Amino acid sequence: MNLILLGAPGAGKGTQGNFLVRDFGLKKISTGDIFREILKDESHPLYNDVKVIKEGKLVTDETVNSVVRYAVETSENKNFIFDGYPRTLAQADALDKIMSDNGMKIDYVVELSVTKEVLMYRLLGRRTCRSCKSIFHVSNGHETCPECGGELYTRDDDNEETVQARFEEYNTKTLPLIEHYKNKDVKYIKYVVDNKDLQPAEIHQKLIVELK
């Protein structure tokens, strides 16, 4: 099965994606992770396209699509979960082509729809460990990192303005993808996260029911 996980940054895609990888044996395609891997390897065929990231620049859409194509075509596991890609209709078209060129298709689109209130609560309360990068919510009351004792801090981009901007970008650029896939033979599953106390494991249990 091939699945796309959609959701605004902070909706919990990473956590849910890891659960689905574990339960369904999927290969996760996350462009951020792949970029980091490529940057470690100067002999990688896409290194020169991706290295602009080191200068703080954004890679082109074309490069993002090439990176995904490369990851799909070189993976032995051909059951994919796409996390954070596609983000735009143009990328969705590119992914459709990558899949059909390889005799595959997208079977599910899973949207983790999170209310702005829950998103703000989660991200503005997020504390990151300077040493081990673990993430905790301020409501847990930790003074220092419970994993390693490191200092907990608030990331610069976990502020109201940035969260608002990312939420709006998701709504304008990524939400139209749902219509795109509804017009194809794809099962669309939406899960609304409107309760800040809801645990990731509970969401996962509900998702599994929908996927079976």
Q: Is 69 an annotated catalytic residue?
A: no
With contact defined as beta carbons under 8 Å apart, do 73 and 21 qualify?
no
The single-letter DSSP state of residue 183 is T
With contact defined as beta carbons under 8 Å apart, do 86 and 92 qualify?
yes
Coil, strand or helix: which one is 114? strand
| 136 contacts Zn ion (rule: CB under 5 A) | no
| 145 contacts Zn ion (rule: CB under 5 A) | yes
With contact defined as beta carbons under 8 Å apart, do 136 and 125 qualify?
no
| 147 contacts Zn ion (rule: CB under 5 A) | yes
CA distance 25 to 75: 13
Active-site hit among 27, 51, 166, 187: 166
Active-site hit among 13, 28, 69, 127: 13
Find the shortest distance in angstroms from Cβ 128 to Zn ion.
Answer: 9
Q: Is 36 an annotated catalytic residue?
A: no
Of 52, 73, 102, 148, the one binding Zn ion (CB under 5 A) is 148
Q: Which helix (H) or strand (E) holds 28?
A: strand 27-30
CA distance 80 to 58: 25
Find the shortest distance in angstroms from Cβ 155 to Zn ion.
Answer: 14
Q: Is 127 an annotated catalytic residue?
A: no
Find the shortest distance in angstroms from Cβ 152 to Zn ion.
Answer: 8
| 131 contacts Zn ion (rule: CB under 5 A) | yes
Backbone angles phi, psi at 158, to 5 degrees: -90, 60
In the bound state with Zn ion, the residue whose beta carbon lies nearer, of 139 and 172, is: 139
Find the shortest distance in angstroms from Cβ 141 to Zn ion.
Answer: 16
In the bound state with Zn ion, the residue whose beta carbon lies nearer, of 93 and 147, is: 147
Closest listed residue to residue 15, CA positions, set 24, 25, 5, 27? 5
Q: Give contact residues for Zn ion (rule: CB under 5 A).
A: 129, 131-132, 134, 145, 147-148, 150
Give the residue numbers marked as catalytic.
Answer: 13, 87, 126, 155, 166
